[in-house]
Amino acid sequence: MSCRRHLLCLAAGLMLRVPAAEAAENRVVALPPFLVEEKSAALRWLYADVAGAEVLSSGSERLTRELIGNHHRLHTLLGELLPAELQFRTTEKQTLLFIDSRQQPATSQEVVARLALTSAEEDRLAEAAVPLNDGRLRRRPPPPRYSFLPNLRLWDRDTGILFAVVNEKEFDAKRLALTPDYVAYLLRNRLPALPAWFVSGVLALQARAEFTADALTLERLEWPLAPGAAALRADAQARRALLPLPDFFRGDLSASDAATAETLELWQAQAALLVHWGLGGRGAPRRAAFWRFVARAATEPVTEELFQECFGIDFAHAQQQLAKYLPEAVGEKLTLRPPQRPRLPDYALRPASDGEIARLKGDWERLEIGYVKAHFPALAPKYIEQARRTLRRAHDRGDRDPRLLAVMGLCEVDSGNDAAAREFLEAAATAGKTLRPRALLDLARLRLAAHRAARADAGGDLWITSAQADEVLAPLAAARDQEPPMPEIYELVAEVWAASADAPTRARFAVLEEGVRTFPRRTELVYRTASLSLRHGFAETARWVITLGLTLAPDPAARRRFEALQARLEGPE
C-alpha cells in the first residue's frame, strides 16, 4: 500500500479489500484499532491544543508537528473550495489521535487472538466438521482472518475523532489529501442544509483535486457529450447544452422525460461548472458574490431576483456567461490559493497528562463501541471493557475533570448502562459550567426518564412538575447555544412540554418553532410542535406548522396525521 493510500484516511475510514477469489476461502474481517497499555512501560504521549483540535500522539515531536501542520494545511486549502462558514461546525474540539507504527502497544494478531478466542462466533467456527444434507461430513471453511484498520475517522453527534497509524519513515505530506467521504460529511451535515447543486458540484471538483504545499488545483471539468456524438469528442459542438437555470436550480428531474441517467449526468456536470464559474476567472471577480449566493440559497428558494441581488445579472445573462465559460473550465485547470501560505500559529507541544491520555484515548475507544456493535456485535463487550478501563485509570487516581466525567457518562450511555451514565453526567454537570452538547442532551434525557419513572412508581399521574421540567430543559438550553444544532434537542423539548401539566409561555414555546425551522423534515418534531400548539392555544403557530407538515409529509400516513390536526384547527371551538 502506498503512503498516499495508507494515510488518505486522515479524512475518512478505510476498508480492507480482498480479491474475490481469495475472499470466499479466506475472508478478512477488519476491526477498529484495539490499543492496550503495556504493563512494563507506558507509551510516551504528546499533547497539543491547536487550530480547533486536541492532539494526542505517541510519535516523535518532529513527526507530530508534521502531522499537525499537514492537517492544518489541508483544511486551509479546502477552505478555498469550501469556506469554513459553509462546513459542518462543532463547538467541541475535534481530536487527532496519532500512533507511531513502531510504538503500537500490541500487534493486531496478539490482540485479535485474545478477542476471537473468547467470542461465541469463534467457538462455532472452531468446530472441525459439519453435516451435509445427505448425512456426510465436510470440513468447515476456515475462520475469518482478522486485521485492524490502520486509519479511521469516527463521528459523534457533536464532534469527530481521527485515528491514524503513521510510519515515520514513509510519511510524505506531499502525497496526502482529504478524501471525498470526509468532505461529503462536512457538506451534508452543515446547517442550514446546503443546496443539493452546491454539494454535488463541490464533491465532483474535490474528488479530482490536487493538494500541494500552498494551493488546491481543480482538474479540467468533464462535460457529457450529446447522444451519438462520441466520435466528435474533440468538437465543442458535441457537448450537451446547458440546462435552463430555473430548471437546474429547481432540480426536479422527475417532472419530465428528462429524468434519465444522461440528464442527471448533465445536471451534475452543470453543478460542478457553476461552482467552477463562481470561483474562477482572472482575479476571481465572482467569488464573494458566489459565497453570498450559496449561503442565502441554504435558507431561501433560488429565484431570479435572489440571483440578481447577488451577481447583478439575470438568469439569461448568467446562462450566456456559463456557456462562454465552459470551454475554459473544460480546457484548463483552476488553481486556488489562500492569501497567505498555510501556517500554524505558535503552539505548545508537551507531554500529555494522565487525564488527557485517559479522556482522549478513552473517547476514541468509546466511539469504537458503536462501530463494533453495528459490524461485529460479538466483540462489542471487549471494546466496552477496554474503553472503561482506559477512562477509569485516571478516574481511580482522583481525576474529576468534568470533560473526563462527561466522556465516562457517554461511554455508559453507548454501553446501554443508563444508571451509571447519569451518575457520571450529573457529576460532570456539577463540576463544570459547560459540557459538550452530546453530554447535555443525554443528561436531559436521563433526568426526564428518572422523573417519569418516579411518578409511575408513586402511582400518581404521569405529569412532571414545573420544577422537574425546568431541570430537564436547563441542559437542553445550554446545548442549543453550541454547535452543531441537533434535532434531538428540540424533540426532547417537545417531549418535556408534552409531559408537563403546565403550559409553556409563548416565548419558551418559540424554541420549538426554531427547531421546526432548522429541521423542517423531521416529521415527528413538526407533528409534535403542531399538536402542542393546538393544545396550548397557539393557533397562528399551529397553522403554519401544519401547513409545513402537509407540504413535506414523507408518506400518506404522515399526511393523514397532519390533516387530522388541520381539521381540529379549523373545526368549531
Q: What is the pLDDT of residues 327-349, one digit of tens each?
A: 999 999 999 999 998 889 899 99
| Residues 154 and 269 placed together within one structural domain of the fold | no
User: Is the distance from CB of 493 to CB of 476 less than 8 angstroms?
Assistant: yes
Q: Given pLDDT bands bounded at 50, 70 and 90, which one contains residue 176?
A: confident
Domain boundary among 317, 348, 379: 348
> Same structural domain for residues 284 and 139?
no
Answer yes or no: are the C-beta atoms of 299 and 185 closer than 8 Å: no
Residue 375 lies in a domain: no
| Residue 562 belongs to some domain of the structure | yes
List beta partners, residue 155: 160
Same domain (yes/no): 130, 263 = no
The answer to whether 187 and 196 are in contact (CB under 8 A) is no
- What are the strands, taking DSSP E only, across 289-429? 334-336, 350-351
474, part of any domain: no
Give the pLDDT of residue 72. Answer: 96
User: Does 31 share its domain with 174?
Assistant: yes
Say if residue 171 is in the same domain as residue 243. Answer: no
pLDDT recorded at residue 113? 57
369's CB contacts (< 8 A; 6+ apart) are 380, 383, 384, 387, 411, 414, 415
Residues 46 and 131 in one domain: yes
Pair 498, 528: CB distance under 8 Å: yes
**CATH number of domain containing 530:** 1.25.40
Q: Residue 464 gets which letter from DSSP? A: B
In a domain, 138, yes or no: yes
Q: Residue 386 pLDDT > 90, yes or no?
A: yes
Same domain, 295 and 166: no
- Tell me the torsion sign for CA atoms 116, 118, 120, 124: positive
Helix (H, G, I), strand (E, B) or coil at 195: coil
Q: What pLDDT does residue 175 have?
A: 82
Domain hosting 19: range is: 3-179+342-348
pLDDT-based confidence at residue 174 (cuts at 50, 70, 90): confident
User: Which one-letter amino acid corresponds to residue 340?
Assistant: Q
Whole-angstrom distance, CA of residue 300 vs CA of residue 515: 17
Domain boundary pick from 291, 322, 348: 348
- pLDDT at 12 > cutoff 70: no
Q: Tell me whether residue 419 is in a domain.
A: no
Residue 286 lies in a domain: yes
Please indicate, yes or no, whether residues 173 and 251 belong to a single structural domain of this protein. Answer: no
Tens digit of pLDDT for each residue in 222-272? 999 876 545 444 556 667 899 999 999 998 665 444 457 888 999 999 999
pLDDT of residue 225: 85
Residues 38 and 116 in one domain: yes
Domain assignment of residue 11, yes or no: yes
Tell me: do 168 and 229 sit in the same domain.
no
Is 410 within a domain?
A: no
Tell the burial category of 372 from Cβ atoms under 10 Å away from its Cβ (0-12, 13-18, 19+).
buried
Q: How confident is the model at residue 25 (pLDDT cuts 50, 70, 90)?
A: very low
pLDDT class of 7 with cuts at 50, 70, 90: very low
Same domain as 104, residue 32 = yes
- Residue 96's DSSP bridge partners are 55, 162
Tally of domains in the chain: 3
Residue carrying C-alpha cell 495508507:
6
Whether 51 and 147 share a structural domain? yes
